[in-house]
Every structure is written in structure tokens, then in C-alpha cells.
Structure 1
């Protein structure tokens, strides 16, 4: 990629995002070592990582967009499409499945009016499955935003979501 094309791509990132990414780069021997951090920085500012943002990050890190996309899609906490204000990650690991996560998924779907992969019409929540949240001894579990909720039951789902949010 030419220097001019690279600079055009990078201009899609804000100065604040570039400064935060550069601060991370200062701590590592290779620019691409901050790929995940750079994706998180942009996501923190924008809520998700668009194709344009991903290409800009890749150009800034001197790596290909395909290589960075492989990293972004590997990690389930990097969102490659818009999500709601809070993401609900419902664990569907074997431990949570045995403890009834399917019933909890149905309750969340009823409560919010969305299926897995969808966002509520008010943009408050996005419901996503996740293979494991690392709390198998407290199954079933889910994360709402940054909060882990353990030993879930239908009543706790209602309490956590604050009662019915459907119109």
C-alpha cells in the first residue's frame, strides 16, 4: 500500500484514537502487537469496529486489513457490527446448558423482544451467545455490559433487566 493510501485510511481515525493507540505502541517492540488493544480503543469510542475503522487501524499498525479482521473476528468482545448500549452475553457452554441456559434465553427473548444476534428497537440491548464466560461453577451465567451475573434463574433475569422492556 502506498504511503498516501495509508494516510488516507488512517485519517478515518480520530486524533484521540490515534493518540491512545500510539501510547500502546510505545510499550511494545512491534506495532502489530497492539492489534487487540487498538481494536478495543476504537470500539470504546465508537461502540463497534466498522470495516473503514478496521482498515484504518490496520494501516496504522502496518498490517493487512484481512490479518486484523482475523484477529477481530476471533475475539467475541470485538463487535464488527453495531450493538446496543449494553451487550448481553449469554453463556451457552455445556455447564450453562445443563443448568438451563436455553430456558433463560427464551425468557430474555420474551422480556426484550429480540432473538440471539438482535438489538432491541430502543437500542438498549443486544443479545449475543458466548461459548464460555469462565464461571462454570456458578452456571448459568451471563454478562450485561461489564457485569457478570451468576446462578441465574428466570426471576433474576427479570430483576437484572429491570422488568419488561418490550413496548
Structure 2
């Protein structure tokens, strides 16, 4: 289990205190921790479980059930590539491979420099724009020009 710093621990304590006693606090707390920390450390799950009088297994079950939660820190730029049927048929695998190569990052991992995280995701609900990637929350659709993808990634990397 990784150790978190005092500042992160304080943020988690504030979130837990703010939601303790409310209805459905586990998911609310998890959302807030994810927003503050960028991921959900195991120590946060322990604190949430204790505050809500539920087992850590229950909290972990919620974290692993919902795709929006992650237990690993993400890179500065998060890229989600849709691997749903429509996107896959229209070239999502090639798109994913191109992005991984351009970012020097494996699928569902964070690049060694901490700049990019790449996630292969289920359907993003934008089938008419297939293939689709979401980069830092912005939807990019009809991505068929792999050189354009490489240029976009390069522009992001050099803007740092």
C-alpha cells in the first residue's frame, strides 16, 4: 500500500467530515476524493469505510464497480479511447496503438514522465463520431488521420 502525503491526508479527512452522516455518503466521498487527489488511495477507502460504518470491502467494491473511479494516480493529460463496437469497427485499435506510441505509454497505464495516462474504455456514447477519443475531457471524433493524432499529442507534450 502506497503512502500519501500529509496534505492529501488532510483533504481526505475534510471530505469525509463534510459528508459523514449524509445519505449515500460513500459515493459522494469517493467522487470528492477522486476530484481532489486525481485517484482514490487505499487510505481514503479505509477512512470512508470507518466514517460510514461499512467494510473496506464494500467501499472497494464501489470503487472497482464504477469505471470513473481509479486507484492509480493519472498523468497530467488523460486520454480515453473508445473501444466500443462502432469505434472498434472504424479503427479504434489503430488509434489506440498510435496514441500509445506517440505518448510512450502502455494501455491503461501512465507514461514514465507522468504526462499521459491512456485508458481503453467501453462505449463513450458517441458512436456517430467513431472512432472517438476524449483528451483532457474534450471529445475528438472521426479520428482517421494518424498523423494528425501524432501532431496533437506532440503539441500537448511540447506545451508543457
TM-score by length of 1: 0.78
Q: Which runs of 4+ in 1 moved over 6 A?
A: none
CA deviation digits over 1:71-95, x for unaligned, max 9?
Answer: 1111122111122112211110001
2:53 is paired with a residue of what secondary structure?
coil
Of the three residues 144, 158, 167, the one matched with 2:150 is 158
How far apart, in 2, do the equivalents of 1:165 and 1:71 lie? 34
Matched, 1:115 2:109: no
How far apart, in 2, do the equivalents of 1:145 and 1:78 lie? 16
User: How many pairs were matched up?
Assistant: 150
Is residue 107–residue 118 contact of structure 2 (8 Å, CA) maintained in 1? yes
Stretches of structure 2 lacking an aligned partner (at least 5 in a row): 1-7
Aligned residue for 1:130?
121
TM-score by length of 2: 0.81
How far apart, in 1, do the equivalents of 2:32 and 2:156 lie? 33
* RMSD across aligned positions (CA): 2.4
1:52 is paired with a residue of what secondary structure?
helix
